[in-house]
Amino acid sequence: MAVHNIEMKQTARLVGNVDVVFVVSTDAEGKLGELHLSKGGVDWWPKNSKKYFHRYNWEQFRRLIESEPAKRRPDEE
| pLDDT at 56 exceeding the cut of 90 | yes
Residue-by-residue DSSP string for 12-39: SS-SSSSPEEEEEEETTTEEEEEEEEET
pLDDT at 20: 83
Cα 47 versus chain centre, distance: 12
**pTM for the complete prediction?**
0.71
| Domain ranges (residues) in the chain | 4-66
Q: What percent of the chain has pLDDT over 90?
A: 36
pLDDT at 10: 64
User: How confident is residue 4, by pLDDT bands cut at 50, 70 and 90?
Assistant: confident
